[in-house]
Amino acid sequence: MNYFGKIAALTALVILSACGNRGALEPPKGQSLPPAVYGEAEKPTGEELLIPSTQAQPERSDELLRRSEKRQDDKFDLPPPG
């Protein structure tokens, strides 16, 4: 990439970074936020709806395989019929 290409790419990144909405999240006009979950007294806010649940974003497991182990036979691992 030449000098002008780098400047153009940097300028594009700066312009794109300024395109975000900085205000509070609100539903579109004529619509409302989803109803409260069964058992909850209050509706969730727009910000609360953006936080993923632990089911949607499980914790990462960093457990490494220390040594290879031979698989045990699986009596249910049968070839397809036919």
What pLDDT is stored for residue 1 in this prediction? Answer: 62
Contact 54, 47 (CB under 8 A): no
CA atoms within 13 A of residue 29's CA, in its CB half-sphere? 0
What pLDDT is stored for residue 43 in this prediction? Answer: 83
pLDDT in tens, 17-71: 766 666 777 778 888 878 888 888 888 887 888 888 878 877 777 777 777 778 7
Q: What is the pTM of this model?
A: 0.36
**Residue showing tokens 């936080």:** 51
